[in-house]
Amino acid sequence: MQQNIDQEESNDGDVGGHSVAVIRRPGWRRRGLFIAVAILLGASLGVLIAEAALRIYVAARGWTPNCYATGISFFVPHPQAGYMLRPGLRVRSSTYDITVNSRGLRGPEIPSAKSPDVVRILVVGGSAVFGYLVPDAQDPCRMLEACLRERGHRVEVINAGVPGYNVTQCRARLQADLAPLRPDVVLVYSGWNDIPWLIAGAAPLHRRVTPAPPWWKRALVHSTLYGFLRYRLFPPAEPVFTPPPAPGTRITEAGAAVFEREYRELVRGIRQLGAIPVVSEQLTAACSGCSDVERFLGASPEQVETNRRLGQWVQQAVRRIAEEEGAESVAVCGVVTCDGTTLGDAIHPTAVGYQAIVARWCEALEPLLLQRRSSLGQTSSRNRAVEHAGGSREADEGDRSDPVAETDG
């Protein structure tokens, strides 16, 4: 009887006229399933313990849980610009100290309404505006704000830089999200990130808008353990900030036409907002007069020369477009020292480099701010004069009506 309980017989056929009973043991299946579940639960428990231990470790160091997977954790999709900074992002590690506000912009929170006597300055561009190599207090927009306030100007400077953005993405983000902030001045520091499109030809605009990382990567970076394994133990290749063209690569006519059209549309769109466009050259290793930064432009003399030529074409085009569009232009190349103390790679300034660039911005913006202050003062004087004249007329009319009122009485 016990054997019938533990075993199951089935007649699977005849062999030599005799039926063959096949005995199955479902107990082994149950045991195998139990072992598999136990292994899975044990592995999951191990992952959870490792995750908790790593989080305790990074917290003790004063870092945020996303400290290892910083690059991927920065971005979320944007319908027009492809991607944007993750609103509310906080990253702190041995390399980064970055705060992103609820609007997806690096820096403190920005009120929708601004005081009439405060000049709101918006700076647009890529990672060099964002401040790729510097902590929060040293990003160029905080430095520009401090510089102008020290000179007595009431300003608010907004950092709208997003790593990787080209001119097309800057224009899309300005129209979609930044126009409601009603900036008085928009400073454009962009152009280098368009080089891949300049040499590729007239790519459709939707192809110039790079998408955000896929959803599963954005989900995984919330795990400190995943970030540690993927980006610390098995790190990807170092980012390269120069295009890898073959020696002799040239800017195509179609690519140049698209770049100029997009840049002009950006400048004109700024004017349509009622803001003053200011165009700044970029400090890059391709600037003339640079020293000790050629290694950032390529591995061979031919590639260095090709990338230098491409970068200088962008600077000349930006300077010419600003002049033809009547925008204020800020010279940086050949004015700011270009060497290993001011550049950390081909395009990203160091803290010393930002200080020099911001000094140029400060000098260029101050006359505009003084002019605006003067015009506001004149407007205020006219308003006071009109109010005073209106008050005088009311007083005169009141004087003439008093006798009538007394007679009627």
For 310-335, what is the mean pLDDT? Answer: 96
Q: Which residue has the higher pLDDT, 301 or 380?
A: 301
Its pTM stands at 0.82
CA atoms within 13 A on the CB side of 102: 4
270: three-class secondary structure by DSSP: helix
Residue 288 sits in a domain whose CATH number is: 3.40.50.1110
Measured distance CA(259)–CA(320) in Å, rounded = 13
Does residue 77 contact residue 87 with C-beta atoms inside 8 Å? no
284: three-class secondary structure by DSSP: coil
Measured distance CA(384)–CA(377) in Å, rounded = 11
Structural domain including 302 reads: 109-212+239-373
Q: CA torsion sign, 203 to 323 to 147 to 288?
A: positive
pLDDT score, position 7: 44
Instruction: Report the candidate in 16, 17, 93 with the shortest Cα–Cα distance to residue 58.
Output: 93
Measured distance CA(49)–CA(83) in Å, rounded = 34
The number of folded domains in the chain is 1
Q: CA torsion sign, 322 to 323 to 327 to 330?
A: positive
In angstroms, what CA-CA distances link 280 with 69, 314, 357?
32, 12, 9
For 281-305, what is the mean pLDDT? Answer: 91
pLDDT score, position 358: 97
Residues in CB range of 111: below 8 A, 6 or more apart: none
In a domain, 394, yes or no: no
The C-alpha angle 86, 87, 91, rounded to 5 degrees, equals: 65
For 130-156, what is the mean pLDDT? Answer: 94
pLDDT class of 391 with cuts at 50, 70, 90:
low
Instruction: Report the candidate in 359, 55, 35 with the shortest Cα–Cα distance to residue 227.
Output: 55
pLDDT score, position 402: 41
Q: Which residue has the higher pLDDT, 408 or 54?
A: 54
To which residue do tokens 């005081």 refer? 115
Say yes or no to pLDDT of 203 above 80. Answer: no
Beta-bridged to residue 159, according to DSSP, are 106, 123
Measured distance CA(391)–CA(401) in Å, rounded = 15
Measured distance CA(210)–CA(168) in Å, rounded = 10
Say yes or no to pLDDT of 186 above 60. Answer: yes
Does residue 384 contact residue 353 with C-beta atoms inside 8 Å? no
For 288-297, what is the mean pLDDT? Answer: 91
Instruction: Report the candidate in 168, 140, 198 with the shortest Cα–Cα distance to residue 78.
Output: 168
In a domain, 403, yes or no: no
143 burial (CB, 10 Å; 0-12 / 13-18 / 19+) is buried
pLDDT class of 218 with cuts at 50, 70, 90:
confident
pLDDT score, position 240: 67
Say yes or no to pLDDT of 142 above 50. Answer: yes
Does residue 285 contact residue 347 with C-beta atoms inside 8 Å? yes
The number of helix segments (H) and strand segments (E) in the chain equals 13, 11
In a domain, 145, yes or no: yes
97: three-class secondary structure by DSSP: strand
- For the CA atoms of 163, 164, 166, 171, the dihedral, rounded to the nearest 10 degrees, stands at -40
In a domain, 165, yes or no: yes
Neighbours of 101 (CB within 10 A): 17
Does residue 100 contact residue 137 with C-beta atoms inside 8 Å? no
In a domain, 141, yes or no: yes
In a domain, 404, yes or no: no
Say yes or no to pLDDT of 228 above 50. Answer: yes
Say yes or no to pLDDT of 409 above 70. Answer: no
Beta-bridged to residue 125, according to DSSP, are 161, 189
pLDDT score, position 407: 31
Q: Which residue has the higher pLDDT, 59 or 230?
A: 59
**Mutual orientation of helices 301-324 and 253-272 as an angle, nearest 10°?**
40
Q: CA torsion sign, 162 to 165 to 167 to 171?
A: negative
Mean pLDDT of the chain: 85
- For the CA atoms of 241, 244, 250, 256, the dihedral, rounded to the nearest 10 degrees, stands at -40
pLDDT tens profile 234-275: 887 776 666 666 767 889 999 999 999 999 999 999 999 999
Does residue 332 contact residue 322 with C-beta atoms inside 8 Å? no
In a domain, 255, yes or no: yes
319 burial (CB, 10 Å; 0-12 / 13-18 / 19+) is middle
In a domain, 70, yes or no: no
